[in-house]
Amino acid sequence: MNSAQAAGRNIRRLRTAAGQSLADLAAAADVSKTTLHGLEQGEGNPTLSTLWALATALGVSLGELLEPPAPPVAVVRADEGPRADGDAVHARLLHRIAVRGTVEVFAIEVDAAEQASQPHLPGVSECMVVTGGGIRTGPSDAPVDLAEGDSVHFGAASPHLYQGLAGRNTAVLLMLHPAPQPGGPGGPGGPGSPGSPGRPAGAA
């Protein structure tokens, strides 16, 4: 499924869920009914401004229009991902992650030695975008090798690992923590907390 087909499917799904007719949405987004019909059929190459107008009219984010179905471990290579182009801004959707809680953003370097990470609390996930070199990461029983520009999103409530594959390996790592339940454990711990990238498994 290409990006135009994914966007068309999502537009049709969201419009139907909102109880809007084709004409209603076209009028709200200030696009022609013919254009909207073509987009829903996966035809054409919608501009960034058209997609923003449709997202606004539907009351959703731009990413929700572009997002294809994602597997439990979602890898996006440097030349993949739905794209939308404007006059000056060229966007590539890597991952769309729904979270109600806290997102921690780390700049990390990963050495060649393999580091095991303890499971995080239930509901915690990680999203890594490799910015230099190469990194092996993901669930311990099914890690993936990432090159510069590749990204991955996976649930981190099970054992996982990190290993650099080149001389210098850098990435941006997002750790997504759901809001803690009243009276229960949870919340972000930051680098060095159990299971975080700064604390190997077995550390006290």
pLDDT tens digit string along 39-94?
A: 999 887 888 889 999 999 998 888 888 877 556 788 999 989 888 888 877 888 88
As given in the structure block, the two tokens for residue 43 are 């035809």
Helix boundaries (H) for the chain: 3-17, 22-29, 33-40, 48-58, 62-66
As given in the structure block, the two tokens for residue 21 are 């007719």
What was the pLDDT predicted at 85?
86
As given in the structure block, the two tokens for residue 139 are 């669930």
What was the pLDDT predicted at 1?
62
Q: pLDDT at residue 174 above 90?
A: yes
Mean predicted confidence (pLDDT) in 12-35: 91
Angle at 136 between CA 158 and CA 71, to 5 degrees: 55
Mean pLDDT over all residues of the chain?
A: 84
Q: How confident is the model at residue 181 (pLDDT cuts 50, 70, 90)?
A: low
- If one counts every other C-beta atom within 10 angstroms of the C-beta of residue 197, the result is 22
What's the length of the chain?
Answer: 204
Do the beta carbons of residue 23 and residue 61 sit within 8 Å?
Answer: no
What was the pLDDT predicted at 28?
94
Mean predicted confidence (pLDDT) in 156-166: 94
What was the pLDDT predicted at 51?
92
What was the pLDDT predicted at 60?
86
As given in the structure block, the two tokens for residue 85 are 């182009």
